[in-house]
Amino acid sequence: MHISSRRHMMDLMFPLGLLLAFAASAVMVILMAANLYTRTAQDSSRAYTARTVLAYVTEKVHQNDVEGGVCAGSFAGCPALILERTQETATYCTYLYVCDGSLRELMVQKGTDAKPEDGRKILPLKEFLPRQESDNLIYLTCTDEEGKTAESFLTISSVEE
């Protein structure tokens, strides 16, 4: 009987050990997946501002893509993207630039004196650098408050080649 009892004990211990090993490996996989998800979510939220700025600026350029209407330049000493549009008898300039830690947008009649602080705050941003690569291509870089940088090329469709 003693040998039979050992066999029954082994028959019970093997599936129990297998179950425990499976449970431990399942818990480890879940913990690793949770850690990976947390890191991915944090990285995504860190780059959110810079990517959002580029999406916003791209949409503004598409809305103002008329011949001679988009160029990289400066506004009051700040690097700026300048969107120019003529409506009826007046020409208006929209400036997109960084001032006091925020991307700002300011629309004024061409030739009007304005200060960088007059612009409407869009999103917190450390740096915004538009650069005219050619008549129909603008290179944008922006850096958020955490130092994350995003970059993009914008093609101006209205430029005749």
> pLDDT tens for residues 25-84?
999 999 999 999 988 887 776 667 788 888 899 999 888 888 878 999 999 889 999 999
User: DSSP secondary-structure letter at 69?
Assistant: -
Residue 159 has pLDDT above 60, yes or no: no
pTM here is 0.70
**E strand or H helix at 13:** helix 2-46
Alpha helix (H) residue ranges in 47-114: 48-63
Q: Note the pLDDT tens digit of each residue in 112-139.
A: 889 999 999 999 999 999 999 998 899 9
Structure-block tokens of residue 120: 């409407």
CA-CA distance, 11 to 132, in Å (whole number)?
76
CB 120 within 8 A of CB 98: no
